[in-house]
Amino acid sequence: MNRYLLLFTFLVFIKQPVKSQPERWQQSVKYKMDINFDVKKHQFDGLQVVQYTNNSPDTLYNVFYHLYFNAFQPNSMMDVRSRTIADPDKRVGDRIVKLTTDEQGFIRINSLKLNGRKVLHKSVGTILEVKLNEPILPNTTVVFEMDFKGQVPLQIRRSGRFNAEGIEYSMAQWYPKLCNYDYQGWHANPYVAREFYGVWGNFEVNITMPSNYIIAATGILQNATEIGFGYSASEPEERKEKNIWRFKAENVHDFVWAADPDYKQIVNKNDDGTIVRYFFQPGEKTTENWERLPVIMNEAFSFINSKFGKYPFSEYSFIQGGDGGMEYPMATLITGNRTLPSLVGVSVHELMHSWFQMVLGSNEALYPWMDEGFTSYASNEVMNHLKIKKLIPGEPLDNPHIKDINGYINFSLSGKEEPLITHSDHYVTNTAYGVGSYTKGEVLLEQIKYIIGEQAFESGMLQYFETWKFKHPNSNDFFRVMEKVSGLELDWFKEYFVYTTHTIDYEIEDFKDKTIFLKNKGFMPMPLDITVKTKDGKQFQYYIAQEIMRGEKKGDKVFKNFKVLEDWAWTHPNYSFKINQKLSEIESIEIDASKRLADVDRSNNIWPRLEPKVKPEKE
């Protein structure tokens, strides 16, 4: 369809608001981009038509776009942040300030029109500020037309040309992308190499490139028979000098692609029907391991579908590119010269983001733990399952999260922890951001599972997916789902674990006269699982709920057949209860024998107290 005819259609088009929850609206967008790529200059010209629907009750007087490639210029916020933060990411370090003019990245806007009329715009670092000459009214759709030019920077972080493994173009965060406007307002965050957030919508991207390049991308290739290269059963009879690759993606909030003349593509149809594509550069360090991925990832998809919700797209691509692993809709860029366990590990982690971010599209900048933490939790579950299935080497564990629980505990004791509610860009250190988002986010799910029981937790994760897929859940939305499936009140947990850095520390203070004396030494209340083992081999389980939970957990797979004791009120430091055994009959009394509770001092969780280890004397 002709662009101007299209424009006319949009102008008369008024849509009803899309409602995700009764009180929650979300914006929607349709991108159409024609990209002409110059592989000699590493530059591209782009024509972008965006149909933007304002489903909010607000009149918008300005809009913002992300211009991520502008971060790869000396003295950009990302550059200076990387050179001044106490613990820089080694992949960035001081590399940006050393880029020459033709190694830098940029996105330049040649023109921008709203409904056919030019609008004022100003590039401020990685954000394009646009003042509208006509406001966008609630429940209307407008059309932005943009003419832009981009230069692909040398690979520094996530995106760029010629990565360390020789992939020519890793094209992530490469186009002018509308910032999201939601019930919390605009999110025009400048890019400092952290998290992303986008508007849900559809993409139509046409890329013109020399015909020796193979492209892997978000979405479905529309002209597969014209292209070949493994996208269709046969190859085209003759190749023109250039190919136009036509991709479409629906219900996504970003679009990634990568291009290299040496890509080999393996295509596999999963048992769940998903077509999965694997793009890698054949070689000694890649071919053997990449050829083993399809069988392993088929099992991973099946397991994830059953635990976290059914993968809703028809295709997914694992693409060698980037600088480690980074998730995008329907695709990931991962480095590929890896051992098999490492290759599977990164593939599983990035795939998991298809659930926690690419379908449950939280604002990652505000809630990085909802994507990285939940992904870390799920990845450990998947890797453990693959070990049980003997698809990857290693012994499966009863609790695959213990290492990360200990990691969180150690960091929380360092005094450098920052609360999870911190905006991802504004953590003081990279480490605090990393531990908070990945590790403590994972531990948070493990604590919820401990509090509400495994059965409620598992159905809660599925319920969370069903309720919030293709929407923008915030942290409260997640806790509300968990409250509904468990029938318990969990606001207190959220307020302690997300908003503060308070820690958990319970102690068995004493045992005498058949009475167990407990003490809360930490600042955070939690329910307690208590296991009493007797010398004649019997085991008794006791459960103390927090009064503010307004109920007890049910159906815990690890802690079964427990006797429910009286609730513990969080204001009370002490608690005691009687059992039928006397000291001489007791083998051990333990708080949380399953080691799921993130208790920062486990040494006082057991009675009789473990003998302190005697330090060997100096020679």
Interface contacts to Zn ion, rule CB under 5 A = 372, 375
Which of 347, 375 has the CB closer to Zn ion? 375
Report helix, strand or coil for 465.
helix
DSSP letters for 550-583: -S-----SSS-SPEE---B-TT-SEEEEE-S--G
Q: How far is the CB of 583 from Zn ion (least distance, A)?
A: 49
- C-beta separation of 382 from 300 below 8 A: yes
Which of 375, 581 has the CB closer to Zn ion? 375
Report helix, strand or coil for 22.
coil
Comparing CA positions, the residue from 274, 405, 266 lying closest to residue 336 is 266
Q: How far is the CB of 372 from Zn ion (least distance, A)?
A: 5
Which of 351, 456 has the CB closer to Zn ion? 351
Which of 10, 377 has the CB closer to Zn ion? 377
Report helix, strand or coil for 325.
strand
Q: Which residues of 8-36 are buried (b: 16+ CB within 10 A; e: fewer)?
A: eebeeeeeeeeebeeebbbbbbbbbbbbb
Which of 319, 586 has the CB closer to Zn ion? 319
* Residues in the chain, total: 619
Q: How far is the CB of 596 from Zn ion (least distance, A)?
A: 23
DSSP letters for 418-458: --TTS-GGG-SSHHHHHIIIIIIHHHHHHHHHHHH-HHHHH
Q: How far is the CB of 349 from Zn ion (least distance, A)?
A: 6
Which of 372, 442 has the CB closer to Zn ion? 372
Block residue for tokens 């809660």: 460
Q: How far is the CB of 350 from Zn ion (least distance, A)?
A: 7
Which of 204, 372 has the CB closer to Zn ion? 372
Which of 242, 423 has the CB closer to Zn ion? 423
Q: How far is the CB of 528 from Zn ion (least distance, A)?
A: 32
Q: Are strands 315-320 and 275-280 parallel, antiparallel or unpaired?
A: parallel
CA distance 466 to 618: 61
Which of 372, 381 has the CB closer to Zn ion? 372
Cis amide leading into 608 (omega within 30)? yes
Report helix, strand or coil for 481.
helix
Q: How far is the CB of 330 from Zn ion (least distance, A)?
A: 16
Which of 372, 592 has the CB closer to Zn ion? 372
What's the CA angle centered on 378, arms 388 and 335, to 5 degrees? 90
Report helix, strand or coil for 50.
strand
Q: How far is the CB of 348 from Zn ion (least distance, A)?
A: 11
Q: How far is the CB of 31 from Zn ion (least distance, A)?
A: 24
Block residue for tokens 């890896």: 338
Which of 376, 546 has the CB closer to Zn ion? 376
CA distance 245 to 437: 37
Q: How far is the CB of 356 from Zn ion (least distance, A)?
A: 8
C-beta contacts of 86-92 below 8 A and 24+ residues apart: 86/428, 86/429, 87/429, 87/430, 87/431, 88/430, 89/157, 89/193, 89/430, 91/156, 91/157, 91/323, 91/324, 92/156, 92/157, 92/193
CA distance 62 to 272: 44
- C-beta separation of 301 from 352 below 8 A: no
Non-local CB neighbours of 583 within 8 Å, separated by 6+ positions: 511, 512
Which of 25, 374 has the CB closer to Zn ion? 374
Q: Which residues pair with 185 in a beta bridge?
A: 182
Q: How far is the CB of 396 from Zn ion (least distance, A)?
A: 22
CA distance 6 to 24: 29
Q: How far is the CB of 326 from Zn ion (least distance, A)?
A: 8
Q: How far is the CB of 465 from Zn ion (least distance, A)?
A: 17
Which of 372, 417 has the CB closer to Zn ion? 372
Block residue for tokens 């040649």: 110
CA distance 104 to 156: 10
